[in-house]
Chains A and B, each alone.
Chain A
Amino acid sequence: MNYTYIEQLLERYWQGETNLDEEQILKSFFCQDDVPEHLREYAEFFAYAKDSKDMHVSDDFDSRFDELIAAEEGRGAERMKAIRIPFKARLMPFLKAAAVVALTLTVGGAAMRGLMQPEDLRSTDLTPVNYVKADEVKQAIETVQRSMTAKADSITGENKAIDADIKKE
């Protein structure tokens, strides 16, 4: 059998002058069982080149990769959660403080008007009688303020508890 074509192709291959189709012909030729004796020294090389293309990642690569992606996504979700919850929780003290101020003004104003007679509201002079009534009003307001302060303290305590919960998460 004449192997001139293969020999010429092989020579051009070593010179780096073959194209992909010609290189495929060489691989196919050298991967046969009946390669002539004088060309056999190169057969293993082409067999290796062909066989190497079958090398692949480990069988568990896909499952490990899925775990990696899930972990990445989990970390992303955790970051989102950490941002969202404190934002809502941090808004709460302002709302509560505003509510306490509004309640104090409303109740304080109502108590002041309730304890004063219509003529007291008109009168601005501090006669002995008016002075005593004014003292009673002052005491009533102080009582309301004390109860408001106690309420505000308990709300502050609640806020601290919320903050502690957030830090734990």
Chain B
Amino acid sequence: MKEVSFKNDILPLKDVLFRLAVRITLNREDAEDIVQETLIRLWKESQQQQIENIKSYALTICRNLSLDQKAKKEHQTESFDEEIHDQLDQTSSPDRMLENEERFGFLQSLIDELPEKQRTAIQLRDIEGQSYKDIATVMNISESDVKVNIFRARQKLKERLKSVSQ
């Protein structure tokens, strides 16, 4: 049984987990809390059982926590969409991030407007470069369902990009 090192195997996953959590919760602060929780859970689980694909396992925990957090927020507020976009604006402090948000703000909102499954599938495939198999594991759906979600998401993105350029 391979011994899992927190420093070498778990902590380096923080950024990929963060990006997925932001994509689902649309809130940086919530996403960082979720990453912390994911890392702690992952470490405890790795001490109790052998984890075959640690990255997929971490992403699965992170997605579930993000969905829980999103559901909690939706329950708390009547106008979730307005609130999350306000929060995104308030928490994006570093200069480079602001520049990128100005440049890519439209594209970001384009992806953020997709249904969660399509959004997560696009995040994991087009940004993180994950295989369909790994995405299916993380999302707990079949590979063909992953492909369907990606196809639908890309079709919507293509249409929107075309309509903007015309």
Contact = CB atoms under 8 A, between A and B. Distances in A.
A14 interface: yes
Interface in B102-150: 103-104, 107-108, 125-129, 131, 147, 150
B9 to A, nearest CB: 16
Contacts of A131: none
B45 to A, nearest CB: 16
Nearest to B21: A57
B12 to A, nearest CB: 11
Contacts of B100: 51
Nearest to B125: A23
Contacts of B59: none
Contact of A48 (B104, B147, B165): B104
Given A14-B158, A20-B131, A58-B32, A48 B108 contact: yes
Classify chain B's interface size. Answer: 35 or more
Interface residues of A, number: 29
B155 interface: yes
A99 interface: no
B55 interface: no
B15 A57 contact: yes
Interface in B6-47: 11, 14-15, 18-19, 22, 28, 32, 35-36, 39-40
Contacts, number: 68
Contacts of A72: 40
Q: From B40, B155, B158, name the one whose CB has the most chain A CB atoms within 10 angstroms.
A: B158
Contact of B129 (A23, A44, A55, A62): A23
A56 interface: yes
B75 interface: no
Contacts of A20: 129, 131
B161 A41 contact: yes
B19 A44 contact: no
A65 interface: yes
Given A51-B100, A57-B14, A65-B39, A14 B129 contact: no
A41 B32 contact: no
Given A16-B150, A65-B36, A52 B161 contact: no
Interface of B: 11, 14-15, 18-19, 22, 28, 32, 35-36, 39-40, 97, 100, 103-104, 107-108, 125-129, 131, 147, 150-151, 154-155, 157-158, 161-162, 164-165
Please name the 6 residue pairs, one residue from A and one from B, whose CB atoms are nearest each other, closest first: A16-B151, A41-B165, A48-B107, A56-B15, A48-B104, A57-B18
9 contacts: A41-B164, A44-B107, A47-B104, A53-B128, A56-B18, A57-B15, A62-B11, A65-B36, A65-B39
